[in-house]
């Protein structure tokens, strides 16, 4: 019998997958700033594991190579892969890795750009194209006729899956599926044993329909860090307070409540047209030996770093300036996909 399990993000990783921003992606208006963030991100990742970078063509590959060299970043833990993509939200169209009898196996879910909101034909092909490349061709890859984005789920590594009803039950993703049928698909494909549903919580400006990686994340199997609002006059106060109550009511498989770590809602960030941006510290990225935390050059950055250092006492906590990513309604976790090692 095949044992299938969705590893937790803090388990050993082979690397992190990214797609480089270009003038044809969301970043055309602020490309230089976006590239600066990506360089800081790649520099941090490559200290701990391999940064696998997708490049749209040979010209972009050459540019990335030059920029990395100019920044003095060692190329030892950097691998470049040429393939087309529409945009750079790799978390949501990259491979979801499960462990099959202790070996990594990719699931290639359908990607429809969060319910058909944006062009996505090339993004939906990225996983199968990567699988055909020498770096990844040895592993199993299964195409799945089901829409699921990596940012919409978070695993405790023990069969528990944290997600939101607003996203997974969206009729624009898998019309015709009810909650029970979606749970069954998660059980069958990911080895999930318990789905922990959140009905509350959503950030202004978020176009993912409340991805869990903007709201609440496992730090270990007993601990959940979550976005908390302390200002009763903030527009998020009611929704996030209700989400906090939902988290308090959740139970581990042994019946015990979770240890909850509140992360401050970042000081409000706005774009040039005065629209509030979906800033969140829950969009952190766990590496082998480190946790990368998005920062936005606001007063709450320091508190968020402190809280996450307490949640990850054995890992180095590193801030990565992510305001350019926020301008396009995403952050650090959204532009990356971890590749678990799935070692026995």
HSE toward the beta carbon, residue 249, CA cutoff 13 A: 11
pLDDT at 138: 80
pLDDT at 145: 97
Q: Under a CB-based contact definition with an 8 Å cutoff, are residues 45 and 73 in contact?
A: no
> CA-to-CA distance for 287 and 293, rounded, in angstroms?
11
pLDDT (mean) for 144-151: 98
- Quote the mean pLDDT of the chain: 95
pLDDT at 93: 98
Whether 342 shows a pLDDT value over 80: the answer reads: no
Q: Taking the CB of residue 229, how many other CB atoms lie within 10 A of it?
A: 20
Structure tokens at 145: 């006729």
CATH classification for the domain delimited by 4-340, as one of 3.90.1300.10, 3.75.10.10, 1.20.1250.20, 3.40.50.11540: 3.75.10.10
pLDDT at 102: 84
Q: Taking the CB of residue 224, how many other CB atoms lie within 10 A of it?
A: 22
Angle at Cα 248 formed by Cα 243 and Cα 251, nearest 5°? 120
Whether 215 shows a pLDDT value over 80: the answer reads: yes
Sheet with strand 223-228: strands edge to edge: 216-220, 223-228, 259-264
pTM over 0.85: yes
- Cα dihedral value 89, 94, 96, 101, nearest 10: -150
pLDDT (mean) for 292-309: 97
pLDDT (mean) for 27-45: 95
Q: What is the pLDDT of residues 171-210, one digit of tens each?
A: 999 999 999 999 999 999 999 999 999 999 999 999 999 9
Q: How confident is the model at residue 2 (pLDDT cuts 50, 70, 90)?
A: low
pLDDT at 344: 41
Q: What is the pLDDT of residues 118-130, one digit of tens each?
A: 999 999 999 999 9
Express as a percent the part of the chain with pLDDT over 70.
Answer: 99
Q: Taking the CB of residue 32, how many other CB atoms lie within 10 A of it?
A: 9
Spell out the domain ranges in the chain: 4-340
Angle at Cα 314 formed by Cα 308 and Cα 319, nearest 5°? 40
Whether 224 shows a pLDDT value over 70: the answer reads: yes
Q: What is the pLDDT of residues 72-118, one digit of tens each?
A: 999 999 999 999 999 999 999 999 999 998 889 999 999 999 999 99
Q: What is the pLDDT of residues 240-299, one digit of tens each?
A: 999 999 999 999 999 999 999 999 999 999 999 999 999 999 999 999 999 999 999 999
> CA-to-CA distance for 158 and 162, rounded, in angstroms?
12
pLDDT (mean) for 19-42: 94
Whether 1 shows a pLDDT value over 80: the answer reads: no
């Amino acid at each position: 019998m095949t044992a299938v399990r969705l590893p937790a993000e803090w388990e050993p990783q082979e690397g992190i997958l990214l797609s480089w921003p270009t003038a044809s992606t969301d970043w055309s208006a602020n490309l230089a700033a976006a590239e600066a963030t990506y360089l800081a991100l790649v520099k941090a990742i490559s200290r701990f594991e391999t940064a696998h970078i997708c490049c749209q063509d040979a010209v972009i590959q050459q540019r990335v190579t030059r920029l990395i060299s100019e920044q003095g970043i060692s190329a030892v833990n950097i691998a470049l892969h040429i393939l087309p993509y529409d945009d750079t939200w790799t978390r949501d169209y990259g491979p979801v890795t499960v462990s099959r009898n202790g070996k990594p196996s990719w699931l290639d879910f359908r990607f429809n750009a969060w319910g058909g909101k944006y062009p996505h034909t090339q993004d939906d092909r990225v996983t199968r194209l990567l699988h055909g490349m020498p770096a990844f061709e040895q592993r199993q890859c299964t195409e799945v006729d089901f829409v699921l984005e990596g940012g919409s789920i978070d695993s405790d590594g023990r069969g528990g899956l944290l997600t939101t009803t607003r996203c997974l039950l969206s009729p624009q993703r898998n019309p015709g599926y009810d909650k029970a049928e979606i749970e069954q698909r998660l059980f069958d494909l990911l080895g999930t044993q318990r789905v922990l549903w959140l009905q509350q919580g959503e950030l202004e400006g978020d176009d993912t329909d409340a991805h869990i990686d903007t709201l609440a994340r496992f730090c270990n199997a007993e601990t959940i860090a979550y976005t908390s609002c302390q200002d009763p006059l903030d527009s998020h106060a009611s929704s996030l307070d209700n989400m906090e109550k939902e988290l308090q009511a959740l139970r581990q498989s042994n019946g015990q409540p979770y240890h909850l770590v509140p992360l401050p809602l970042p000081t409000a960030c706005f774009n040039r047209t005065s629209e509030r941006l979906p800033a969140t510290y829950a969009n952190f990225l766990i590496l082998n030996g480190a946790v990368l935390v998005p920062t936005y050059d606001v007063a709450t950055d320091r508190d968020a770093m402190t809280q996450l250092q307490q949640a990850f006492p054995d890992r180095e906590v590193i801030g990565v300036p992510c305001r350019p990513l926020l301008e396009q309604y995403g952050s650090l976790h959204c532009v990356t996909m971890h590749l678990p090692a799935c070692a026995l």
